[in-house]
Amino acid sequence: MPKKYTEEERRNIRLALMKAGGDCLLRYGVRRTTVDELVHLADIPKGTFYLFYPHKEALFLDMIRRYQDDVDTLYPAMLAELDENHIVTSLTDVFMRITMMFYERGLYRFLDNAELDVVLRKYGDDEKVDIGKRMDTMLHGLFSYFAIEDEDDIRSFRAGYEALLYMLLSYDRIHDNEKALRFLIRGLVLQMVE
């Protein structure tokens, strides 16, 4: 009979699995990550993993959704605290924080469609469309906050931001990577607020 966990234990196990998933994404990517490695890093029995997720792809999909939920929760609060006297710097900080969360959780690996396809192979195209729609909604909300309502401008800013995200695939190979990323984000922000 499976072990019963309290709500707190379930939350802690899920957090440990999320951290293990992020560590594995950073080290190996999706394809080379195994359930054995995930449970080793989370320090849980293998059977416990399967109480939470039917397969590793479900964990990674949950990680993507949780990132999107976190951003949906965080960015309105961050935008509300923007310093109007230093709007470019403040907005650059917002985008840096969102981008670094994406990087530190290992989710940048999903910019490689082959990696994302490994996760979604168990689900179908609807999940990929849902992930894309949620990202569109979040970015649309960010850009419309600045009264950017022209759909062509929104698409352009989104494309610019996505291009910045692709830099993360080579982030560790870039000299002064954080300064370079901040510089590029600041350029996008300057275009956005002009």
pLDDT at 43 (0 to 100): 96
Q: Rounded to two decimals, what is the model's pTM?
A: 0.83
Q: Is there a single domain that holds both residue 65 and residue 78?
A: yes
Q: Is there a single domain that holds both residue 165 and residue 77?
A: yes
Domain that holds residue 176: 55-193
Over its C-alpha atoms, the chain yields an Rg (Å, rounded) of: 18
140-176 pLDDT per residue, tens:
776 666 666 677 877 888 888 889 989 998 998 999 9
pLDDT at 50 (0 to 100): 95
Number of domains in the chain: 2
User: What does pLDDT average to over the chain?
Assistant: 86
pLDDT at 40 (0 to 100): 97
Question: What is the rounded CA–CA span in Å between residue 44 and residue 52?
Answer: 11
pLDDT at 185 (0 to 100): 94
Q: Where residue 112 sits, what CATH number does that domain have?
A: 1.10.357
Question: What is the rounded CA–CA span in Å between residue 107 and residue 182?
Answer: 19
8-state DSSP, 5 = -
Q: Is there a single domain that holds both residue 76 and residue 43?
A: no
25-76 pLDDT per residue, tens:
988 889 999 999 999 999 999 999 999 999 999 999 899 889 888 888 887 7
